[in-house]
Amino acid sequence: MNPSEPVFVYFEDDPPSRTIVEVLLTRVMNYQHVIMFEDSHDVIAKLEAIDMIPTVFFIDILLFGFVKPHDLFCKVDQALPQCVWLQYFHSTTQP
């Protein structure tokens, strides 16, 4: 693996959204390391099973699962303390 190539991790429970992001990242942008999780169940074990250090996280803020989004950030930080966070929150409501 090229160490300068990003490793994407995407937590998303909506299958069409996962497909769109996967196609965009792998086929359009030609990235090879895209890891998708459909829920937040057992998140620490899932992250520890990755043999690469993730560099980009996408987390659905309305993710259905066992861990709420803020807690998911904390669990990711716990499992991968070497990661640097840049948080972006998108509001689905328009003023």
User: What pLDDT digit, counting tens, does each position of 24-44 carry?
Assistant: 999 999 999 999 999 878 888
The whole-number pLDDT of residue 88 equals 46
Beta-carbon count within 10 A of 58 CB: 16
User: What pLDDT digit, counting tens, does each position of 46-82 carry?
Assistant: 888 988 888 888 887 776 565 666 677 777 777 776 6
Mean pLDDT for the chain overall? 78
How, if at all, do strands 8-11 and 56-59 pair? parallel
Whether residue 89 is predicted with pLDDT greater than 50 in this model: the reply is no
- Region of 65 please: left (phi>0), alpha (psi -120 to 50) or beta: left
